[in-house]
Amino acid sequence: MKKKLLYLFSALLVLTSCSNDETKEDDVVITPKSQNLLKKSIETNGNGIVRTAIYTYEGNKIDKITYDDGATTVFTYTGDLITKTVQTEIHNGKAYSNTTTFAYEGNKLRSSLKVYSENRINTMQGIFSYDVEGKISATYIDIDPLTQKQKLMTLSALTLDSNKNIVKAEMFTSPYNISLMEYDTKNTPFKNIVGASLIFNSDAFGREVGLNNNKTKEILRYGKDNEDTLIYSNIYNSDNYLITSDNGRKMMEYFY
């Protein structure tokens, strides 16, 4: 239970866009060289462990992320919307996967359903609603894969700034958790990937940067007395796209 709640809280920290702007692949041809389409990332954690990811595309729609440890994420589109991801990881020589499907109303995410290949792991459903100011309410439900019995996991709320970045993420569980974020005004590595900014509850693109702008500061508060602050040191290329982000615990490098 604790592990799943921590996953849910982490999911709230993924940045989203609820903009009404829609990218049509027929309107513009985006190439990795001229439009800073992400091709590779390198993650180095505090223990010095390095993980490399390679991104492949069809046009500017992402097709697959391949990691050097054998893990993969495969994407499926319907039009310009990402409607399915299949994530596979290798543990002790065995492959484990989960499939997440996404449903939309217009260009706003309305629900997600994450199903694991192992029946012992419960299915997770997310249901999302939006108020007139763009604030997002999220309900996460745990579903037993054998009995189909449902259990409410958490209610949460996301507050957005004018650039559609999440500046406050709250999870109304016991204990109450909150995260406060600050951003730059530069481009993120995922800016030119069609549909990426809409799947804000997904971990498919990692959690170190935003999908609209890049984190510069994050304050995490767990329960009554636990608080943690992360400061991000960011470096950009000549087109103001993020190429390095380091918060003292993890460094990310991005190549276009």
The 3-class SS string of 118-173 reads: CCCCCEEEEEEEECCCCCEEEEEEEECCCCCCEEEEEEEEEEECCCCCEEEEEECC
Chain-centroid distance, C-alpha 179: 15
Instruction: Give the mean pLDDT of the chain.
Output: 86
CB 247 within 8 A of CB 229: no
* Average pLDDT value for residue range 211-216: 90
> Cα-Cα-Cα-Cα dihedral of 252, 3, 100, 195, to 10°?
-40
pTM for the structure as a whole: 0.83
Is 162 or 113 the better-scoring residue by pLDDT? 113
- What was the pLDDT predicted at 134? 73
> What is the structure's pLDDT at 207?
67
Q: Which is more confidently placed, 132 or 29? A: 132
Beta-carbon-side half-sphere exposure of residue 36 (alpha carbons within 13 Å): 16
Q: Is the pLDDT of residue 161 over 60?
A: yes
- Residue 181 confidence (pLDDT) above 80: yes
Which of 152, 190, 151 has the alpha carbon at shortest distance from 14?
190
Predicted confidence band of residue 174 (pLDDT cuts 50, 70, 90): confident
* CA gap 28, 113 in Å, rounded: 32
